[in-house]
Amino acid sequence: MSATEAHYRALERMHQAAPINQFLESTISVEKGSSTILSNVSPNYFHAAGSMHGCLYFKALDDAAYFAAASRNRSEFLVTTGFTTYITRAVSEGPLTTKGTLISAGKQLLVAEAVMYDPRGREVARGSGTFMPSGKKLCDQSGYSDS
């Protein structure tokens, strides 16, 4: 496995190792400048009106965009510095597919976007964000260096 492929697999492990992801059913795949998250929808994620709460749209969109950006940075953990979310359709069933794409990668600022699709392939949400190196080494993050 190349160093680049090893980085992508390490990012996937880091995603799965995050404590928040122990509560949510999802998987991630990371490639050059992109990521895909497949997530289930549970009634436990619903607000009072019976569809998925907005925080879960945001999380999937932010994660997909983040890992698309992180695919280009092998040394530091990135942080989200800004993110805009547009929810265009209520969701009450899954699975959902969220695809992240890196748009721009400078030395100190990366820009990525993500789009979420329902089981019928309809767009249900989209977002874009900016990400910056945090100063924390990736190799020190939970899950990243575990093989």
CA atoms in the 13 A half-sphere facing the CB of 53: 11
The 8-class DSSP code of residue 12 comes to H
pLDDT at 147 over 80: no
Using DSSP's 3-state secondary structure scheme, residue 2 falls into coil
Confidence of residue 94 (pLDDT cuts 50, 70, 90): confident
Choosing among 3.10.129.10, 1.10.3430.10, 3.40.980.10, 3.40.605.10, the CATH entry for 3-140 is: 3.10.129.10
pLDDT at 117: 98
Question: Residues 74, 77, 79, 84: is their CA dihedral positive or negative?
Answer: positive
The per-residue pLDDT for range 4-46, each reduced to its tens digit, is 999 999 999 999 999 998 888 899 999 999 999 999 998 888 9
Confidence of residue 145 (pLDDT cuts 50, 70, 90): confident
State the DSSP string of 22-46.
GTS-EEEEEETTEEEEEE---GGGB
Task: Determine what percent of the chain is predicted with pLDDT higher than 90.
Answer: 86
User: For residues 83 and 58, is the Cβ–Cβ distance under 8 A?
Assistant: yes
